[in-house]
């Protein structure tokens, strides 16, 4: 058995055009190509904005899960309105605080929409921070772009006749991850915790670690059905069966990493041995993920 040590990171910031003017210019010159997929029941999946976005039609505007990059907010919202037949966003749920998930916050907030997130996501978006997910530091979002409602653990809301449940996945990808479950539509958004095509990095500088990822995927696997449509932040839509498979992969990896720690391995040794090589064809090169995952364990755990 191993014992946990606490680990606290700093806050978060936005994708600032003043810091990266060349990137913003290129984004303006090449408009994002937003794709729309009808999932039924008034729910739509939109791709191409920087992350996958869910939009649910409502009588008083749409509900969104995540909002892509700030540079893509305008074309994304146009696509949302066209798909849902609405003219505003009533509610926006942030699954986490990384820039690719919160780019529509400012437009939604300034128009009077409600923004819901975990309280730690609100903390990151209100402070200047660094992360392994981007270079340098990012300034806080302006006041209208910050969450107006926060949750600490679990909750639910009713929207357009649908029950929408959400829950906290501690230290899984960031330190403020939420899943969002459209229960009656059998659709679940899981943010940056898992992907069908990549190994989502662990933001170990800001509280995430491999044990948090393992617990999060175990929990998701316990909530989904085999045919649940699972929407990650990145890549194609998954099924509940995919989540269950990843639960087994991460469980095995955690045991392997503990053995590596007991052998006195460094992160470079883990990358060299590559315990995920059998999955490389499915999820790509795991080197960066393995490096961060092992470093996260060295921060969070010590042998008894």
Residues 291, 49: Cα–Cα separation, whole Å:
28
Place of tokens 């730690």: 120
Residue 223 lies in a domain: yes
Domain count, the chain: 1
Model confidence pLDDT, tens digit, residues 93-116: 999 999 999 999 999 999 999 999
Task: State the average pLDDT over residues 266-278.
Answer: 98
Nearest to 175 by CA among 141, 212, 140: 212
Model confidence pLDDT, tens digit, residues 19-71: 334 433 343 445 789 999 999 999 999 999 999 999 999 999 999 999 999 99
Predicted local confidence at residue 300, as pLDDT:
84
Backbone angles phi, psi at 262, to 5 degrees: -65, -20
Q: Are 141 and 128 in contact (CB under 8 A)?
A: no
pLDDT above 90 (res 296)? yes
pLDDT above 60 (res 275)? yes
Task: State the average pLDDT over residues 275-300.
Answer: 96
User: In what side-by-side order are the strands of the sheet with 177-182?
Assistant: 154-159, 162-169, 177-182, 187-191, 229-232, 238-239
Predicted local confidence at residue 188, as pLDDT:
98
User: Residue 206's domain spans which residues?
Assistant: 28-303
Q: What is the DSSP letter of 126?
A: T
CA distance to 47, 85, 106, 167, per residue, from 96 (Å): 17, 27, 15, 12
pLDDT category at 118 given cuts 50, 70, 90 is very high
Beta strands 89-93; 62-65: pairing state:
parallel
Predicted local confidence at residue 19, as pLDDT:
37
Q: Report helix, strand or coil for 193.
A: coil
DSSP 42-89: TEEEEESSSS-EEEE--TTSEEEE----GGGHHHHHHHHHHHHT-SSE
Residue 4 lies in a domain: no
- Percent residues over pLDDT 70 in the chain: 88
Within its chain, how far is the Cα of 44 from the centroid? 18
Model confidence pLDDT, tens digit, residues 201-254: 999 999 999 999 999 999 999 999 999 999 999 999 999 999 999 999 999 999
Cβ within 8 Å of residue 15, ≥6 positions away? 69, 70, 71, 99, 103, 134, 138
Model confidence pLDDT, tens digit, residues 146-205: 999 999 999 999 999 999 999 999 999 999 999 999 999 999 999 999 999 999 999 999
Residue 2 lies in a domain: no
Predicted local confidence at residue 167, as pLDDT:
98
pLDDT above 70 (res 6)? no
Predicted local confidence at residue 304, as pLDDT:
54
Residue 1 lies in a domain: no
Residue 19 lies in a domain: no
List the CATH number of the domain containing 225: 3.60.15.10
In sequence order, the β-bridge partners of residue 38 are 44
Residue 232 lies in a domain: yes
Residue 5 lies in a domain: no
Beta strands 114-118; 89-93: pairing state:
parallel
Please name the residue ranges forming H helices in 141-209: none
Q: What is the DSSP letter of 139?
A: P
pLDDT above 70 (res 133)? yes
pLDDT category at 10 given cuts 50, 70, 90 is very low
Predicted local confidence at residue 32, as pLDDT:
84
Cβ within 8 Å of residue 161, ≥6 positions away? none
Residue 127 lies in a domain: yes
R_g of the chain computed on alpha carbons: 19
Q: Are 52 and 232 in contact (CB under 8 A)?
A: yes
């Amino acid at each position: 058995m191993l014992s946990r040590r606490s680990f606290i990171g700093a806050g978060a910031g936005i994708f600032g055009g003043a810091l990266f003017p060349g990137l913003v210019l290129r984004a303006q010159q090449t408009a994002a190509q937003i794709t729309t997929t009808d999932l039924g029941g008034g729910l739509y999946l939109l791709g191409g904005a920087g992350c996958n976005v869910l939009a649910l039609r409502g009588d008083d505007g749409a509900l969104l899960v995540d909002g892509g990059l700030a540079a893509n907010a305008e074309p994304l919202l146009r696509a949302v309105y066209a798909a849902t037949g609405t003219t505003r966003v009533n509610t926006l749920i942030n699954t986490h605080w990384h820039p690719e998930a919160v780019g529509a916050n400012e437009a939604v907030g300034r128009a009077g929409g409600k923004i819901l997130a975990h309280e730690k996501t609100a903390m990151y978006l209100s402070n200047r921070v660094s992360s392994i997910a981007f270079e340098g530091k990012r300034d806080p979002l302006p006041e209208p772009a910050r969450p107006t409602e926060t949750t600490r653990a679990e909750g639910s809301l009713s929207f357009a006749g649908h029950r929408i449940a959400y829950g906290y996945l501690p230290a899984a990808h960031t330190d403020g991850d939420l899943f969002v479950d459209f229960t009656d539509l059998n659709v679940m958004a899981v943010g940056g915790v898992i992907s069908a095509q990549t190994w989502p990095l662990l933001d170990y500088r800001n509280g995430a670690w491999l044990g948090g990822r393992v617990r999060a995927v175990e929990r998701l696997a316990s909530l989904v059905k085999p045919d649940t449509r699972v929407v990650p932040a990145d890549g194609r839509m998954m099924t509940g069966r995919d989540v269950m498979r990843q639960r087994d992969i991460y469980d095995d990896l955690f045991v392997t990493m503990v053995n590596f720690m007991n052998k006195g391995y460094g992160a470079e040794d883990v990358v060299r041995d590559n315990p995920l090589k059998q999955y490389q064809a499915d999820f790509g090169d795991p080197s960066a993920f393995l490096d961060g995952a092992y470093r996260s364990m060295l921060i969070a755990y010590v042998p008894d």
